[in-house]
């Protein structure tokens, strides 16, 4: 069984110990190597440990209510893309604005500690380690938020650039793979569906990100939807809600 290296980055030893205990009670505790880290005032300690240990997953405290962890999450996502960030918030309420900022940070998942069950935590870590984006589930279930994210990326993509400036045409195979990504499939799963190796899928994904000038897989999906390269139910919801949601 593939071992997952997880770093718990939180300033509170009590929280880190609690998460470690929850994970130790999971179905496959031996599949996890757990590191604990106090990020420090400016996050440099977390960055140093990530550089040294290359964890697969970083479980990062968002710092509710001031969201001080967002900037550190952005630094990790941009500088260490192999260490996938799962944001944890103490916010007791669902907060679309917070979720929106987490999406922009490049995190692959967003959990609320007040409502997150041990099984959900374990499953989120497992999915994230396999290359999935659990945060997409939250976006697809919130059409207004989905349209807000879509518009944000659309504005970023079109700012002072024409469509020819920001993207190179995708091949039919790349469009096919991007559609499977939009449906929430991991690279391994897409490879199984298409009958090609996972490494080949990774190569295609790298080409897609480069051509679309996208930061990550989720960003690529939103750009592709906004440009009409792929068709999703998400886009239909967004078009319907455009005038009401964005006034």
Domain boundaries for CATH 1.10.10.10 within the chain = 143-245
Q: Which pLDDT tens digit goes with each residue over 142-171? A: 767 767 776 666 565 554 444 444 445 788
Element counts in the chain: helices (H) and strands (E):
13, 5
pLDDT band at 17 (very low <50, low <70, confident <90, very high): very high
DSSP 87: E
The reported pLDDT for the residue numbered 104 is 82
Q: Does the pTM exceed 0.75? A: no
Q: Where in the chain is the domain with CATH 3.40.50.2300?
A: 4-135
What are the CA-CA distances from residue 20 to residues 115, 229, 235, 240 (Å)? 18, 43, 40, 44
Mean pLDDT (whole number) for 11-32: 82
Per-residue pLDDT tens over the stretch 30-85: 688 999 999 987 899 999 999 999 999 999 999 888 888 999 998 998 888 889 99
Classify 143-245 by CATH class.
Answer: mainly alpha
Residue bearing tokens 């091949």? 171
The whole-number pLDDT of residue 19 equals 92
Q: Which residues of 70-99 are buried (b: 16+ CB within 10 A; e: fewer)?
A: bebbbbbbeebeebbbbbbbebeeebeebb
- Tell which CATH classification among 3.50.50.60, 3.40.50.2300, 3.90.850.10, 1.20.1050.10 matches the domain 4-135: 3.40.50.2300
Average pLDDT over every residue of 101-114: 89
Which residues lie closer than 8 Å to 160 by C-beta, 6 or more apart? none
pLDDT in tens, 219-242: 888 777 767 777 655 434 333 433
Tens digits of per-residue pLDDT, 168-215? 578 888 888 988 888 888 899 999 999 999 999 998 998 888 778 777
DSSP string, 99-160: HHHHHHHT-SEEEETTT--HHHHHHHHHHHHTT--THHHHHHT-HHHHHHHHHHHHHHHHTT
User: Rounded mean pLDDT of 16-22?
Assistant: 91
Answer yes or no: are the C-beta atoms of 63 and 37 closer than 8 Å.
no
**H or E element that contains 66:** none
> 48: closest CA among 32, 61, 63, 37?
37
Q: How far is CA 111 from CA 137, 173, 179, in A?
A: 12, 34, 26
Write the DSSP string, 159-192: TT--HHHH-PPPPHHHHHHHHHHHTT--HHHHHH
CB 99 within 8 A of CB 75: no
| Residue 231: per-residue pLDDT | 64
Q: What is the pLDDT of residues 116-150, one digit of tens each?
A: 998 999 999 999 998 888 887 777 677 677 677 76
């Amino acid at each position: 069984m593939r071992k997952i290296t997880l770093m718990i980055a939180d300033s509170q030893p009590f929280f880190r110990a609690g998460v470690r205990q929850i994970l130790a009670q999971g179905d496959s505790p031996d599949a996890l190597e757990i590191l604990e880290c106090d990020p420090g005032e400016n996050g440099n300690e977390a960055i140093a440990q990530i550089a040294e240990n290359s964890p697969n997953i970083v479980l990062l405290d968002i710092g509710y209510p001031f969201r001080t962890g967002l900037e550190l999450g952005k630094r990790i996502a941009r500088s260490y893309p192999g260490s996938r960030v799962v944001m944890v918030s103490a916010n007791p309420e669902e907060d679309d604005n917070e979720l929106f900022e987490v999406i922009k940070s490049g995190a692959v998942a967003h959990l609320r500690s007040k409502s997150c069950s041990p099984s959900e935590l374990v499953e989120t870590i497992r999915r994230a380690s396999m290359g999935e984006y659990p945060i997409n589930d939250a976006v697809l279930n919130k059409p207004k938020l989905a349209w807000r994210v879509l518009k944000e990326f659309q504005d970023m993509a079109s700012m002072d650039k024409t469509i020819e400036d920001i993207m190179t045409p995708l091949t039919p195979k790349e469009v096919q793979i991007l559609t499977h990504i939009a449906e929430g499939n991991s690279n391994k799963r897409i490879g199984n569906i298409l009958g090609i190796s996972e490494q080949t899928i990774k190569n295609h994904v790298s080409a897609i990100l480069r051509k679309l000038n996208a930061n990550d897989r989720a960003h690529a999906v939103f750009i592709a939807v906004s440009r009409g390269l792929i068709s999703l139910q998400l886009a239909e919801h967004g078009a319907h809600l455009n005038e009401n949601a964005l006034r």
